Structure 1
Amino acid sequence: MTLHSRQAYLRLLVAATVTLAFAFANAQTVTTFAVPTSVLTSTAISVDPSLLSISIEFFAFPGYTELSGTTMCLANIQTLRGAAPAVRIGGTTQDRASYDASLSAAVNYTIAVPGDAPESLTYGPSFFSLANELPGDVTIGLNRQLNNISNTQDAAEQAVKGVRGLLALELGNEPEFYAAGSPIIPPGEGWSPTTDAASQKGWFSSISSSVGNIFQAAVYLQYPTWSTTGLIPLLGDAITFVKTFSGHSYPQSACGGAATNLETLMSHSGIVSYTKQYSTEANSAHARGKRYFLGETNSATCGGGGISPTFGAGLWVMDYVLQGALAGVDRLYFHQGTIGNCAYCFWGEDSVLAPYYGAFFVSDFLGSSPKTRLTMIDSGDSSIGAYAVFSGSSGPPARVLLYNSEYFSGLGIRSVVNITLTDLGSDLEIVSVKRMTAPNATSLAGAGVTIGGGGTFSDECAATGTQALEVISASGGMAEVSLHASEAVIVYLSI
């Protein structure tokens, strides 16, 4: 089909497009964004093909390999991005685990109540065999808290031997929370950033002799006391043993009955402000030639609480990934916790949760080019987020993502913003739009959360339904897109 005939055909589609039924506010807000005409005229950054990655709680990892959703959910992202999501295997239970080279099972533990995490566990060589089957980079967390360096070294050597995709090894998880009774803490002494840095340095130096310079350092949750910026000078020459640095981050907490707030979580200006904290850490790592990851992150600690399985949390995932990248984070690993007891998980035993829709949508926006570049085109101080993505180091943008983070609870009239995109090129006659929406921000998967009007996911994470495109006229280098509160769209600038 020629360009002329294709444009004529698409103009017919414009006339045939049926507007979806929404409740409009009496007064509509109008916003304008100028789209960069070229990657050379923007502040676009390069994006890692595995920017959105996955963290899996250590003891639960073998169980995740038995879920069909694990394979399909990861494969969907790989198809959209052209590279498999990296997987980090770790968390609280890595510091409760001991390696047993004679154990035939991948893991062995007991729990008093289903849905609990074990207080202690053992794992064997087949644990690493399962990790070897993952399609992308693999990071494995090993125990430091029990202060059994010989056991951890045995496990590290088996990981290097048995996992072909091994990227890095973590030694300990969030050590700033080691309790006074932890075996690694000498009696009567406290645990500080300085003592932990000395511990990491000593363990890296000792174990590297048999596994190489393959460690992921820091793995702290608290900023800035336990920060990468403080650790780097304390490591000294031992930084040569470090391959990557990692921080952990949860914007909210659901621990101990703490209150969570969905409206605050999904706020675009709030996300912009929150992610700025990563820049110093990322810049410090990059200055030493190391990549900086959020090796464990999600919406709220202790499994997520009431806000985490909602559509609003899916919108947060989408915006958070992009802002993390703009702050210098090379990869964000979204944690998947105890199977069957995990509000923030992307998938479970027999369901796909709403946060996965955001993961899928942002992956669709970023695209499969290995040279993807991203820029932000809004000011960052309002409820509206706007981004442009380029498929290479030159040429015009391929797509724009628009996000209206205004919270809609489902009560009253749902407001709408009419967004005008300018500088699209005078020859552009149409743009196509894919919309991610739900009845309201608190909607759960299976209750009207859709991509493209009818796209959803089966219990096994297979894409079902039709992800249709809306077709919108463009004229004079401008196009107007309507965006309701608590929803997002991808605007495709080429057909």
Structure 2
Amino acid sequence: MRISPPWQLPASLLLLSLSAVSAVPPTVNIEIPVPAKDAHLRSLDRNLVSWSIQNRDLPIFARSKLLENLFKALSTNVALGQSVRLGGGESDKTTYGADITITAEKYRSGYYGAQAQGNVTLGPNYFASFKEKYAPDTRYIWCLNLINTTNNFEAAISTAAGVLEYLGDELDLFEIGNEADFYGSKGFRDPDWDTSMMLPEWNYIADEVEKLAPNKTIKFMAGGFANPAYIVTKDFDIPGVIAAGYQSSRIPWYSMHLYPQSGCSGAVTIAPLLEHNTLSDILSHYIPQVAAAESVGAQFAIGETNTVSCVGRPGISDTFAAALWLVDYALFGATIGIRRVYFHATTTGSYSPVIPINYSIDSGNYSAGVLPLSYGAYFVSEILSFNDTLLVTQIEDGNDTDYSSYSIWDETNHLRKIVFINLQVYNSSEGATNPAMPDTEIYSSDHARPSTRVTVATPWEPGQELSLIRLQGPGSNSKSMVNVSDFTLSEKDGSVTSDLVDTIITVQENGDVVFDLLASEAVLIQHYSNVLANKHPTKSGSKAANSTVDGVIMRTRGADMSVASGLTLNNGVMVSAVLLSAILLFV
């Protein structure tokens, strides 16, 4: 998607936006009342953060353990396999041949990389190149070729046959066509192309695919349009396709795509990633899309998205700001009924969670590694970790341009978790580079890192023991040194290299929960008993290791870890939060 939104900042304002200090108050006081019994809280899908990957790229991701181990960490937390949409621009260039003998190793070598502008022909060994190389229970959505009409859509139907044979029960859904709202303008169909013209083609393919497996219930995700909800062309949105006739029990999901900034042309900036009001304004346009899907008993997803289109932009997509943005994006979307958000990834794109291979581009050599977006996804998996259904809502008076907050409840109206995100800009020269990405300008804020004291009035009983964990990094613009309360992944293979450390706090006598939060940081607070009740990829023992640092209890998940060696950043964050809360600067 290549639409440039009206709020995109011109290049001349970039440095100003990066150096400004946002006006987050030095103290924030909010109250969380128990919701009324008839309050309409939205449930959280365990696959709220999901993934979109080009069909030809998954074998290349399978060359390393990076994505597999990230998936394992996420799936262990949410007790469900990851959802992966295999789709994108190349879906409409793909066909399948049962007699294609290219080896699995050849697919993993990036064999089709040079053919990205042409047709991509897959064979049986394509599926062998990645199958069983990811975390258990990974589920797939496959996007079929709608552009190629040759021999009554043979490309789509033959590919579906291969997918059904080799993915089997791992397949959740088919999509038909990628960003079909662009077909008319790009010359793939008549300029007057609309959803009513697409319907007979879509239905023909769907009918033929169902005939391939008469004993299997095959489901579809309809939509997949490029233009965002605020710039719909013709009737290419969810109300439009439903009105045209795309509604039946075989369509349980509808989707649209969204890239808040266009990296295909024009200037892009880091600033919109750190503005909650900008994000909420964008996503609020999708409320009618959600309503349309729900009106026919279906669910709505953002089927392809990320920070900046056209594989992202170094210095924006590969920063800690993108990780904070992902958390706010997923949670705010959930509050308005967006069930899943599929973050698009390519093997070398700066908006990817991991880079699976060493590569060269523009005379530079780069290595495989982990990007900050992974830690945003992991933080969300901690939010989703619970034994029963969780419901989410924004905290009233806990949201502004530079911060946002959410309360998480169970179905019996018990408060289970609190999330607070400080989106205030703070830039640092620490962690300014990442060997997986090209270097970009290094800059630092010219002031001390501000801190905010947050007091939350809760219905929790005084004295209860709470876990507090932080999504943290040196600065908004940092590309490395990002972690979730010391939880980190190996740059080599994505395995866990450092266990998560919970800060233990207690509910005060009046029910208040008090914590300090640095600029560009997020916290998750929940009962520590809930942490112990859930599986965790780094919890190797039945008891956690305890340590007291400056009077604060720190509890490491994984009893064999040396606590003292892993607390430097967390302790520093705590101390800094206290010392800096009085010196907040205002714009």
User: Which of 344, 350, 371 lines up with 2:351 in the alignment?
Assistant: 344
In structure 2, the partner of 1:320 is 329
Pick closer, same or farther for the CA change 1:180–1:273 going to 2, 3 Å: closer
In structure 2, the partner of 1:172 is 177
In structure 2, the partner of 1:463 is 496
Structure 1 distance, partners of 2:299, 2:221, is 10
Is residue 198–residue 235 contact of structure 1 (8 Å, CA) maintained in 2? no
In structure 2, the partner of 1:278 is 286
Query: Following TM superposition, by how much is the alpha carbon of 1:213 offset from its aligned partner in structure 2, in angstroms?
Result: 4.5
Structure 2 distance, partners of 1:369, 1:272, is 29
In structure 2, the partner of 1:288 is 296
In structure 2, the partner of 1:405 is 423
In structure 1, the partner of 2:96 is 99
In structure 2, the partner of 1:199 is 201
Query: Following TM superposition, by how much is the alpha carbon of 1:382 offset from its aligned partner in structure 2, in angstroms?
Result: 3.6
Query: Following TM superposition, by how much is the alpha carbon of 1:158 offset from its aligned partner in structure 2, in angstroms?
Result: 2.5
**SS of the residue 2:193 aligns to:** coil
- What CA deviation, in whole Å up to 9, does each residue of 1:324-353 have, x standing for no partner? 11121121111111x1x2000001122110
1:439 aligns with 2:446: no
Is residue 213–residue 240 contact of structure 1 (8 Å, CA) maintained in 2? no
1:142 aligns with 2:144: yes
In structure 2, the partner of 1:488 is 522
Structure 2 distance, partners of 1:110, 1:467, is 35
Structure 1 distance, partners of 2:197, 2:121, is 27
Is residue 94–residue 155 contact of structure 2 (8 Å, CA) maintained in 1? no
Is residue 25–residue 413 contact of structure 1 (8 Å, CA) maintained in 2? no
Pick closer, same or farther for the CA change 1:160–1:38 going to 2, 3 Å: same
**SS of the residue 2:369 aligns to:** coil
- What CA deviation, in whole Å up to 9, does each residue of 1:371-399 have, x standing for no partner? 12222214444422111223x31152222
Structure 2 distance, partners of 1:426, 1:45, is 25
Structure 2 distance, partners of 1:486, 1:218, is 35
Is residue 60–residue 108 contact of structure 2 (8 Å, CA) maintained in 1? no
In structure 1, the partner of 2:245 is 235
Structure 1 distance, partners of 2:161, 2:378, is 35
In structure 1, the partner of 2:126 is 127
Pick closer, same or farther for the CA change 1:291–1:426 going to 2, 3 Å: closer
Query: Following TM superposition, by how much is the alpha carbon of 1:477 offset from its aligned partner in structure 2, in angstroms?
Result: 0.6
Structure 1 distance, partners of 2:171, 2:22, is 52
1:305 aligns with 2:337: no
Aligned residues with identical type, % of pairs: 23
1:34 aligns with 2:31: yes
1:367 aligns with 2:364: no
Query: Following TM superposition, by how much is the alpha carbon of 1:401 offset from its aligned partner in structure 2, in angstroms?
Result: 0.8
**SS of the residue 1:301 aligns to:** coil
Pick closer, same or farther for the CA change 1:413–1:104 going to 2, 3 Å: same
1:332 aligns with 2:324: no
- What CA deviation, in whole Å up to 9, does each residue of 1:426-452 have, x standing for no partner? 42355331112111100012xx32221
**SS of the residue 2:321 aligns to:** helix
Output the TM-score relative to the length of structure 2.
0.73
Is residue 254–residue 302 contact of structure 1 (8 Å, CA) maintained in 2? yes
Is residue 62–residue 108 contact of structure 2 (8 Å, CA) maintained in 1? no
User: Which of 47, 51, 54 lines up with 1:54 in the alignment?
Assistant: 51
1:218 aligns with 2:226: no
User: Which of 62, 81, 85 lines up with 2:82 in the alignment?
Assistant: 85
Structure 2 distance, partners of 1:113, 1:288, is 40
Pick closer, same or farther for the CA change 1:279–1:419 going to 2, 3 Å: same
In structure 1, the partner of 2:437 is none
In structure 1, the partner of 2:13 is none
Query: Following TM superposition, by how much is the alpha carbon of 1:204 offset from its aligned partner in structure 2, in angstroms?
Result: 2.7
Tell me the amino acid that sits aligned with residue 147 of structure 1: T
1:389 aligns with 2:422: no
Q: Out of 80-89 and 360-369, give the one that drifted further.
A: 360-369
Structure 1 distance, partners of 2:226, 2:39, is 33
Pick closer, same or farther for the CA change 1:450–1:41 going to 2, 3 Å: farther
1:63 aligns with 2:63: no
In structure 1, the partner of 2:189 is 185
Structure 2 distance, partners of 1:196, 1:28, is 52
Query: Following TM superposition, by how much is the alpha carbon of 1:318 offset from its aligned partner in structure 2, in angstroms?
Result: 0.8
Structure 2 distance, partners of 1:266, 1:120, is 39
Pick closer, same or farther for the CA change 1:27–1:351 going to 2, 3 Å: closer
Gaps of 5+ in 2: 1-20, 357-367, 429-444, 530-587
